[in-house]
Structure 1
């Protein structure tokens, strides 16, 4: 997975992230700032996911994106 693409285009990508995970606030998205580990942590916090589940959710979402 080339997460650098997400980090580099965070302003455009965060709308897609918000669509996928609506419980994330704008402040959460600012804190995440395109960092995969931060997104993982916020998903665990907001959705109660375990670390493995959060990672899988992110990987699945990333795989569905049309870059």
Structure 2
């Protein structure tokens, strides 16, 4: 799924993201708007993941859709 498709379906996917990364607020998820790089940056900050770990988590998450 490319970034345009993700952004278009973000409201639907956002609930799943909230379940997976519960430390992220609704406002933070709204800011990310399905952009992989923004979301991985937020995950790095909140969860203390490395860049590679966060990017892998986000990639695996979006691969499910």
Match of 2:42 in 1: 42
* Aligned-residue RMSD, C-alpha: 1.3
- Aligned positions, number: 65
* TM-score under structure 1 length normalisation: 0.84
Structure 1: where are the runs of 5+ without partners? none
- Distance in 1 between residues matched to 2:10 and 2:57, nearest whole Å: 18
> Which structure 2 residue ranges, 5 or more long, are not aligned?
none
1:9-49 deviation digits (Å, cap 9, x = unpaired): 11111111101111111111111111111101100011001
Structure 1 segments of 4+ aligned residues over 6 angstroms from their partners = none
Shift of 1:63: 2.1
